């Protein structure tokens, strides 16, 4: 509970313009991209590492829960306040502290917009590889907290693979520096990767040293149409076994294609298309044709209907129309999507898609699946009417069955969105008791008062 | 202390042929690749995960230290017994449990020889990327414990980047499973990467799920000769900023070249060569010439003397003669090498090499530097006569100055060899007290009785 005395203490620490308790601000910071909301006690806008240390000191002493927040663009409730919590917004810690092209690294505060990092890197022919769909507005601190990924992950890895080191503050106020400025490191325990993806439950990141890589040269796209899901999924296995690693390898299932057709964004799509792979390749002008030929050879097989290629920006944009219009198209099916973000080994993708089809039929729910097929990571959207209690019950049962299916296929609950508040009920299905117990003990070690993003990541 | 009663208990657990206390076996397992040795109390050869669980249960109860061991090929004392310890050799847990080419993964026991993993992967056109120099005999468990790397790390990353999941037993006997069989994962805390590189101090790995990637097609080599170190180091920066990531990018300094000349392995090396870069590129037959041209453009600059290329196996082997003969050549300088494995950001490589030159001169010691330049990781060998006490004193002072220099250059103690017993005195120079304290607390959490590889990784 934020008493007047405590409020005054935060004002003394941060300044009046960094402590908000007015209803409008509280309402603005009550929700993220989930349909839920919870009014916090206050919203704090630290401007420095020392501010974060000070906030944690007070919160620890008073046992006040902190909800860390970047742009609030996550969709699993990672930045959703819990009752009585203080939102700690990193929006004002938005400075790029250092850009060192020779060492291919950038040191940033957590509130920097992820897309700005990539844009600055590009001025020196470099790239920050992780490219979540929210990159134009999401903040790097949130991306690191959730181990965000995107289409380029198939070639370059996720956020965790592009951080060299961190500055952070644990729940009991320890100020730590992890990792190194080097691309190779065998000295201490790997605290860097432990913190990335820990969803702000172990420590708050106040500074990150990011690894940059040479930027792509030219990109070309293929839209590859198959008669059926299984044929497309089998092509994914073949593509991932050959040496030209695609720059993107995205999948759309039959129901996603139907949605796009109904939305009027299926221009040029052959009749009978039951699954699509979007494939991108990166290289110089001479590489591209040969690399495309290698990919086409791998993509060829049962059920292939058409391979459509795009080289210019306009051609590429046209090929991606169906995929890019998908998020709008699915809204026509039902007002709410329950978005799962499951991941399986690529060899099990066909089984997963078949199971989704079966689940949708048995539970009488439209289910749309698409996503990052090269990593076996599908976004499965259960389209529902939130006011229809009976349908919502069916959705709940369907969701549980989906998770159970994924785990049976040696998969995992989340490929890139994380757990947040929305998926933690399922976490105990994935981990055995000993492993989960150790994770809880880690949480207690880093955050003994339980003030850092409580109610997230691990089940109660 | 291993009493007769305890010995009998281990025999009951493992069988007579898995518990050795005879002087010959104890002597064989008393040392690793360091010049030191320490006779253990016993050598145990578990054959299964359950055996490891049983050993840890007894050791925990009796507070008996365990020294885990793969091939004993490490060179920082990671597998060096401590007084009173039991060596736990993983040599008999040497089975490949599963090879799944469609999902590009292999499940292995820790005693499998690393090179055998790569060889099996190659039968399906795949590769296990980490390639330590010891790969032909080192065991994967040791490689993972130390986060082993090698020349291919510049393109593909180190051991830590090629593990999907682990089965392991903590010091208090918790049997955990970390990670997933998927290439993307945002569910739990990243225990996998925390255990990789923890040098057997947190948990013993009993099973690893390794990530495989498509195998290289053709390889070509360049030997690039420069008049001086700085010119070569500046070329490294240029190479790493352009988009053709080399398959290897190795460096030899002036003193290394002199040693090779004296050894008679400098065939074809231009007069005046003061530094060499060995550059490899991977691709198909059509890629290779263009990729070499791109690399040559980046390699061109001040001080360049010659670019020598090799395409056939024989040509490549010839180019690598100087580099491969180096470990024998340096033995002619002095009988003992003190091998440091420092790493700096690549932009600081020239400063590091200049500092090494200066250190050698000031301390009157031959110092030979070579290694994985693309990652800024140099093996710095101080060549000494171990019986010359005065020289050994100078070497000690020189070594400390080297470490201090590396840290001033934003580098790290170890790029790939790890810390073991031999470098832990320096660890507190790299980490601040809070970070080191947290690492110690992690150690206590995973291993409350302090039985797992005591005296390694962290300073006392």
Q: What is the SS3 assignment for chain A?
A: CCCHHHHHHHHHHHCHHHEECCHHHHHHCCCCCCCCCCCCCEEECCCCHHHHHHHHHHHHHHCCCEEEECCCCCCCCCCCCCCCCEEEECCCCCCEEEEEHHHCEEEECCCCEHHHHHHHHHCCCEECCCCCCCCCCCEHHHHHHHCCCCCCHHHHCCHHHHEEEEEEEECCCCEEEEECCCCCCCCCCCHHHHHCCCCCCCEEEEEEEEECEECCCEEEEEEEEECCHHHHHHHHHHHHHCCCCCCEEEEECHHHHHHHHHHCCCCCCCCCCCEEEEEEEEECCCHHHHHHHHHHHHHCCCCEEEEEEECCHHHHHHHHHHHHCHHHHHHCCCCEEEEEEEECCHHHHHHHHHHHHHHHHHHCCCEEEEEEHHHCEEEEEEEECCCCHHHHHHHHHHHHHHHHHHHHCCCECECCCCCCCCCHHHHHHHCCHHHHHHHHHHHHHHCCCCCECCCCCCCC
> pTM score > 0.95 for this model?
yes
**Section B452-460 average pLDDT:** 96
Residues of chain B positioned with their CB less than 8 A from the CB of A99:
none
What percent of chain B is predicted at pLDDT more than 70?
100
Distance CA(B342)–CA(B135), nearest Å, equals 21
Q: What is the pLDDT of residue A120?
A: 98
What would be the CATH architecture of the domain defined by B4-89? Answer: 2-Layer Sandwich (3.30)
Taking the CA of residue B312 as centre, how many other CA atoms within 13 Å lie in the half-sphere pointing to its CB? Answer: 3
- Which H helix or E strand runs over B96? strand B96-100
Record: fold of B218-327: Alpha-Beta Plaits (3.30.70)
Distance from CA of B386 to the nearest CA of A (A): 26
CATH 3.30.465.10, applies to A96-214: yes
Query: Residue B346: pLDDT above 90?
Result: yes
Average pLDDT, chain B: 96
A215-235: per-residue pLDDT in tens?
998 999 999 999 999 999 999
Tell me the C-alpha distance between B116 and B122, whole Å: 10
How far A381 CA sits from the closest chain B CA (Å)? 18
User: What are B21-55's pLDDT values in tens digits?
Assistant: 999 999 999 999 999 999 999 999 999 999 999 99
CA atoms within 13 A on the CB side of B212: 31
Q: Which of B123, B182, B415 to mutate to test the interface with A (most CBs of A within 10 A)?
A: B182
The vertex-B411 CA angle with B409 and B413, nearest 5°, equals 130
User: Which residues in chain B are contacts of A436 at CB distance < 8 A?
Assistant: 188
Average pLDDT, chain A: 96
Q: Are B241 and A214 in contact (CB under 8 A)?
A: yes
Evaluate whether ipTM surpasses 0.90: yes
pLDDT at A436: 98
> Which of A67-76, A192-201, B153-162, B279-288 is predicted least confidently?
B279-288
> Inter-chain contact B186–A438, Cβ cutoff 8 Å?
no
The pLDDT score that the predictor gives to residue A360 is 96
- Give A22→chain B minimum CA distance, Å: 35
Using CB atoms, which residue from A147, A174, A180 is nearest to B438? A174
Asked whether the predicted pLDDT for residue A285 surpasses 90, the reply is no
The verdict on a CB contact (< 8 Å) between B415 and A184 is yes
Is pLDDT of B285 > 90? Answer: no
CB contact under 8 A, A415 and B348: no
Residue numbers in A near B183 (CB within 8 A): 346, 375-376
Give the closest of B186, B190, B215 to A146, CB-based: B186
* pLDDT of B277 over the 90 cut: yes
CATH (residue range A333-426): 3.30.70.2740
Per the CB < 8 Å rule, is A194 touching B198? no
CA distance A347 to A159: 24
Mark yes or no for CB contact A187/B430 under 8 Å.
yes
pLDDT in tens, B104-127: 999 999 999 999 999 999 999 999
Contact residues, chain B, for A235 at CB < 8 Å: none
For residue B327, is pLDDT > 90? no
Tell me the chain A residues in contact with residue B346 when contact means C-beta distances shorter than 8 Å.
Answer: 102-104, 183
Chain A closest-CA separation from residue B145 CA (Å): 10
Nearest CA in chain B to A201: B189
The confidence band for B456, taking pLDDT boundaries of 50, 70 and 90, is very high
Fold: same for A218-327 and A333-426: yes
Q: What is the pLDDT of residue B433?
A: 97
Q: What does the domain layout of chain A look like in residue ranges? A: 4-89, 96-214, 218-327, 333-426
> What SS3 class is residue B177?
strand
Ranking A280-294, B376-390, B412-426 by mean pLDDT, the lowest is A280-294
Tokens, residue B274: 């003061």
pLDDT at B1 over 90: no
Pick A331 or A192 by higher pLDDT: A192
Q: Please indicate whether, in this complex, the C-beta atoms of A416 and B186 are within 8 angstroms of each other.
A: yes
pLDDT at B411: 97
Cα separation, A352 vs A439, whole angstroms: 28
- State the pLDDT at residue A286: 86
d(CA A5, CA A384): 46
Average pLDDT for residues A199-204, to the nearest whole number? Answer: 98
In this predicted structure, the answer to whether residue B286 has a pLDDT above a threshold of 90 is: no
Check if the beta carbon of residue A170 is closer than 8 Å to that of residue A202: yes
Contact B284 A198 (CB under 8 A): no
> Å from B177 to nearest chain A CA?
6
Average pLDDT of span A407-430: 97
A217 vs B contacts (CB less than 8 Å): 243
What pLDDT is attached to residue A1? 82
- Measured between CA atoms, how close is B37 to chain A, in angstroms? 23
Beta carbon pairs, A and B, within 8 Å: 265
Give yes or no for residue B17 having a pLDDT over 90.
yes
Nearest CA in chain A to B158: A184
pLDDT at A327 over 90: no
């Amino acid at each position: 509970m934020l008493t007047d005395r405590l409020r005054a203490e935060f004002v003394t620490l941060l300044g009046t313009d960094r402590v908000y308790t007015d209803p409008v601000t509280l309402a603005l910071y009550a929700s993220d991209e989930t349909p839920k909301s919870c009014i916090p006690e206050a919203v704090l806008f630290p401007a420095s590492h020392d501010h974060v240390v000070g906030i944690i000191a007070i919160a620890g002493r008073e046992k006040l829960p902190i909800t860390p927040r970047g742009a609030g663009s996550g969709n699993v409730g990672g930045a959703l306040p819990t009752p009585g919590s203080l939102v700690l917004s990193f929006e004002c810690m938005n400075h790029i502290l250092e850009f060192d092209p020779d060492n291919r690294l950038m040191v940033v505060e957590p509130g920097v917009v992820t897309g700005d990092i990539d844009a600055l890197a590009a001025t020196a022919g470099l790239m920050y590889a992780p490219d979540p769909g929210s990159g134009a507005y999401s903040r790097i601190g949130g991306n690191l907290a959730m181990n965000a990924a995107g289409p380029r992950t198939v070639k370059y890895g996720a956020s965790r693979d592009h951080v060299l080191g961190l500055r952070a503050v644990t729940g009991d106020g320890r100020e730590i520096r992890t990792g190194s400025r080097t691309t190779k490191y065998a000295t201490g325990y790997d605290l860097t990767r432990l913190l990335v993806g820990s969803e702000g439950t172990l420590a708050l990141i106040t500074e990150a040293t990011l690894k940059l890589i040479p930027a792509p040269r030219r990109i070309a796209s293929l839209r590859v149409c198959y008669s059926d899901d299984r044929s497309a999924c089998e092509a994914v296995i073949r593509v991932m076994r050959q040496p030209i690693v695609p720059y993107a390898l995205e999948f759309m299932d039959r129901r996603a294609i139907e949605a796009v057709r109904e939305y009027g964004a299926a221009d040029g799509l052959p009749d009978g298309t039951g699954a699509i792979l979007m494939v991108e390749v990166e290289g110089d002008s001479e590489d591209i044709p040969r690399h495309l030929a290698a990919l086409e050879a791998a993509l060829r097989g049962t059920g292939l209907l058409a391979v459509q290629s795009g080289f210019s920006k306009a051609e590429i944009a046209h090929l991606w129309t169906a995929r890019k219009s998908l998020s709008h198209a699915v809204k026509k099916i039902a007002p709410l999507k329950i978005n799962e973000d499951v991941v399986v080994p690529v060899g099990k993708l066909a089984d997963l898609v078949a199971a989704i089809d079966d689940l949708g039929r048995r539970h009488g729910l439209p289910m749309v699946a698409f996503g990052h097929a090269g990593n076996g990571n599908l976004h499965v959207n259960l389209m529902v009417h939130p006011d229809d209690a009976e349908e919502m019950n069916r959705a709940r049962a369907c969701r549980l069955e989906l998770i159970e299916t994924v785990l049976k296929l040696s998969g995992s609950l989340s490929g890139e969105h994380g757990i947040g508040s929305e998926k933690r009920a399922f976490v105990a299905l994935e981990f055995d008791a000993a492993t989960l117990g150790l994770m809880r003990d880690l949480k207690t070690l880093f955050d003994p008062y339980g003030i850092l993003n409580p109610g997230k990541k691990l089940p109660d």
